Amino acid sequence: MQTETKANVDQIVNGTGGRVSVLRFSGDISSSSHDALLGTYETVSKTEPVLLDFTKVEYINSSGIALVIQMLMEANKNSQKIAAFGLTPHFQKVFTMVGITKYASLFPDEASAKASL
């Protein structure tokens, strides 16, 4: 049974004093996650970098990966810097295979992702 996708937005400060939006996802990411992913992304400033927190994501299916790609392509149009962290080794491999790393760098934890921005 699928767990509903939830998303929260936090504002943090990077090492240079700039603001960063952190989109924190939980649950499963699938085709029903459109509002949680893209809707939440629409609420953040397009002039600030964004971190995607997948630490509490249990599962991502192919439709969910397509939504992540759609969000990253939108950010790319805005020349917005994006980094992701908290993915399991399996999903790090999947994200790399499908080309997500062309749009976002992947990191093991929030500290290293934040340091990259």
Per domain, the residue ranges of the chain are 6-115
Half-sphere exposure of 75 (CA within 13 A, CB side): 28
Residue 13: partners with Cβ closer than 8 Å, 6 or more residues away:
19, 20
Q: What is the mean pLDDT of residues 58-62?
A: 95
Q: State residue 15's pLDDT score.
A: 78
CA 32 to chain centroid, in Å, comes to: 16
Is pLDDT of 2 > 80?
Answer: no
Question: May I ask the CATH architecture of the domain 6-115?
Answer: 2-Layer Sandwich (3.30)
Q: State residue 16's pLDDT score.
A: 82
Is the overall model pTM greater than 0.75, yes or no? yes
pLDDT tens profile 70-89: 999 999 999 999 999 999 99
* 106 neighbors 84 (Cβ within 8 angstroms): yes
